[in-house]
Amino acid sequence: MVNEGDFVAIFNSIHRVMKAEALLKGRSVPMLLIPAPRNISADCGLAIRYAAADREVVEAALAEAGLVPESIYEKRDGKFLEAGARG
């Protein structure tokens, strides 16, 4: 489940999303590996969900590791709106 205000990072392969999960877990960054929401197209079917409060840390860690997501969405008013990457 994605809560209002949460961010969802979509990757172009299962390999990249799994690497991103391992990286973030290794740094104890709060996140959750989830099935990609149906209204978001994702090739690999998985996504990383994180809270707005953790956005800077998550996206900076991913950028530093060369794991910039294909796209990032924010859940607002029950809809997923594309958000620009900050990494």
Show the domains of the chain with their CATH numbers: 7-83 (3.30.70)
Own/partner contacts of 27-30, CB < 8 Å, gap of 24 or more, are 27/61, 29/54, 29/57, 29/58, 29/61, 30/54
Q: What are the tens digits of pLDDT across the range 6-44?
A: 999 999 899 999 999 999 999 999 999 999 988 887 677
Mean pLDDT of the chain: 91
- In this prediction the pTM is 0.90
Which pLDDT belongs to residue 72? Answer: 95
Mean pLDDT of 52-77: 95
pLDDT of 87 > 50? The answer is no
Q: Is the dihedral of CA 23, 70, 35, 86 positive or negative?
A: positive
What is the signed CA dihedral for 2, 53, 60, 43, rounded to 10 degrees?
A: 10
Mean pLDDT of 61-65: 96
